[in-house]
Amino acid sequence: MVYRSTNMQLNLKLIGAAFWFLLLMGPGAAFAEEHEGEHVKLVPDQALSLGEVIDRAAELAPDRFMVDARNKTGKAYGRKASSFFAGAPEISVHHQNDFLISDQGLREWEGRLDLPIWMPGEKRAWKDRARAAGSEADAFRNQLVWAVAGEVRDLVWQVKLAEASLDESRAALETAEKLLDDVEKRIRAGDLPKNTVLLARQELAGRRIAIKGAERDYVDSAMMYKTYTGLDRIPTNIAEQRQEVEDDYAVPPVIYARRQMDYYQAEYDSERASWSSSPTITVGVKRERGGYDDRSIDSVSFGLTVPLGSATHSAPRRAEAAEKLANAERELAMAMREQKLALHEAEHELEVCLIQQEITDEHFRMASENLRLAERAFELGESDLMDLLRVREQYFQSSGVHSRQKLQCSLGVARYNQTKGILPQ
């Protein structure tokens, strides 16, 4: 009774295997084989460094336009601070006569030059603002390159992970093809029942499914890399060594937040040193004649214009500058907190990854030995094909985890260095 139940289960499995085999070996599989090589392919380049890839990606980064804009802002502030006057001088000309009314010969011409002057400390405040704007622009560029480096690091390792998965799938497919060939030979020799070939073909079909999924993942990761960097080449040597720095908070995001705060502090100081409008020195010349019989009189005038109630009218600008400064202080505090969390996460991730790698090494050694024994038992007829396939599946799963774990630890080292602000050369 037990023997009949076992045979029935085996027959059901074989029927299912036959169904999947016919489905997978139909036109769809042929179409997939035909279009297998028409996808994105990255060319390994030993001469290409990871630093060169980062530089190339930074040149394509959309934020690069902001770098130029911020540099221009700093230069514009510098030109204003270098100006002799606090604003643009103005020239005005006035003429007055009584031709249309009394017509007594009144004639009057007047020319005036208005020169806005700096308030005490205002010019120095604008120079500080220009320097702060330049430093903020440099920090923004460094932060941009740092962010691009993080993306490139992740992308290249994602490609490596996809390549490893694809290699594992190809190895499994090759093993399944050899197994099918061996099973067919043993069936012809009478060592195995004929229906055993369906299990071997099912295994082969499953491996073909897996390799298509691995190819898809590789194409996706390669396309992301190519789009982000603009390159169809990828460096072969991307492994990094764990590095340390003296100051864990001297990283581009924190430095940029600090430079932003310095910039808004300088902006606030310049607003405090400025009035609602600048005092103006006026120099004028005037020619006037009272009537037709009078002589023309030429004169020179000097004047000083001082705005009143300046504090009231400057208050909105100063309040806006104070709000920007407070927001910059908040951004700096957040950047410091995020860096602290990022440091902990990077250190903990790498520590756990190395522990997991030791475990996966041992697991893979046991899986390899178990597969060796299972293959030997199958050759001697001590076990059936189902037992071998089960052990082989465990081996490939362990092998895949083992390969990915090594790459994940290498990625963990890269992320650790990224968190420390270290860029690859």
Domain holding 70: CATH number? 1.20.1600.10
Strands (DSSP E) found in 163-273: 233-235
**Distance separating alpha carbons of residues 109 and 65, to the nearest angstrom:** 51
For the stretch 5-14, pLDDT in tens is 444 444 444 4
| 6 domain residue, yes or no | no
pLDDT digits (tens, 9 = 90+) for 127-157: 999 999 999 999 999 999 999 999 999 999 9
| Residue 235 belongs to a domain | yes
Q: With respect to residue 223, please indicate whether it lies within any of the assigned structural domains.
A: yes
Of the pLDDT bands very low, low, confident and very high (cuts 50, 70, 90), residue 384 is confident
pLDDT score of 185:
85
At 176, the pLDDT band (50, 70, 90 cuts) reads confident
Lowest mean pLDDT among 150-164, 289-303, 313-327: 289-303
Q: What is the pLDDT of residue 86?
A: 86
Residue 3 in domain: no
Distance of CA 109 to the CA centre of its chain: 66
Is it the case that residue 284 has pLDDT exceeding 60?
A: yes
Give yes or no for residue 28 having a pLDDT over 60.
Answer: no
Does 52 score more than 90 pLDDT?
A: yes
Q: Does residue 24 form part of some domain?
A: no
**By residue range, what is the domain housing residue 306?**
43-419
pLDDT at residue 32, rounded to an integer = 42
- Residue 180's nearest CA partner among 27, 8, 355, 17 is 17
pLDDT by residue (tens digit) across 77-97? Answer: 899 888 888 888 999 999 888
In the predicted structure, residue 19 carries a pLDDT above the cut 70: no
Q: What is the pLDDT of residues 91-125, one digit of tens each?
A: 999 988 877 788 787 888 899 999 998 888 888 99
Q: Between helices 122-188 and 196-229, what is the axis angle to 10°?
A: 160
Distance CA 424, CA 53 (A): 10
Comparison of pLDDT for 40 and 117, the residue scoring more? 117
Q: Does residue 194 belong to any structural domain of this protein?
A: yes
Helix (H/G/I), strand (E/B), else coil: 141:
helix
195-229 per-position pLDDT tens digit:
888 888 888 899 899 999 999 999 999 999 999 99
Spatial distance between the Cα atoms of 114 and 284, rounded to a whole number of angstroms = 9
For position 351, what pLDDT does the model report? 92
Return the pLDDT at 283. Answer: 93
Within-domain flag for 346? yes
Write the CA distances from 140 to 32, 68, 137, integer angstroms: 47, 10, 5
pLDDT of residue 133: 92
Q: Is a pLDDT exceeding 60 seen at residue 35?
A: no
In this predicted structure, what is the pLDDT of residue 385? 80
396: in domain: yes
Span 178-199, average pLDDT: 84
Q: Is the model's pLDDT at 306 over the cut of 50?
A: yes
Residue 37 has pLDDT above 70, yes or no: no
Question: Do residues 269 and 125 make contact, with C-beta atoms less than 8 angstroms apart?
Answer: yes
CB 371 within 8 A of CB 172: no
pLDDT on residue 225: 95
Query: What are 319-377's pLDDT values in tens digits?
Result: 999 999 999 999 999 999 999 999 999 999 999 999 988 998 899 899 889 888 888 88
SS3 assignment, position 256? helix
Percent of the chain with pLDDT over 70: 90
Please give the structure tokens belonging to residue 333. 């505090």
Strand partners, 394: none
pLDDT on residue 39: 63
- Contact between 159 and 40 (Cβ < 8 Å): no
Quick one: pLDDT at residue 291? 72
313 Cβ contact list (under 8 Å, min separation 6): 276, 307
- Tell me: pLDDT of 20 over 90: no
Task: Domain count for the chain, please give it.
Answer: 1
pLDDT computed for residue 8 by the predictor = 43
Q: Which parts of 25-63 fold into alpha helices (H)?
A: 27-34, 50-60
In the DSSP assignment, the letter for residue 251 is S
The radius of gyration of the chain from alpha carbons, rounded to an integer in Å, stands at 39
Q: With contact defined as beta carbons under 8 Å apart, do 386 and 196 qualify?
A: no
Annotate the chain with three-state secondary structure.
CHHHHHHHHHHHHHHHHHHHHHHHCCHHHHHHHHCCCCCCCCEEECCCCHHHHHHHHHHHCCCHHHHHHHHHHHHHHHHHHHCCCCCCCEEEEEEEECCCCCCCCCEEEEEEEEEECCCCCHHHHHHHHHHHHHHHHHHHHHHHHHHHHHHHHHHHHHHHHHHHHHHHHHHHHHHHHHHHHHHHHHHHCCCCCCCHHHHHHHHHHHHHHHHHHHHHHHHHHHHHHHHHHCCCEEECCCCCCCCCCCCCCCCHHHHHHHHHHHHHHHHHHHHHHCCCCCCEEEEEEEEEECCCCCCCEEEEEEEEECCCCHHHHHHHHHHHHHHHHHHHHHHHHHHHHHHHHHHHHHHHHHHHHHHHHHHHHHHHHHHHHHHHHHHHHHHCCCCCHHHHHHHHHHHHHHHHHHHHHHHHHHHHHHHHHHHCCCCCC
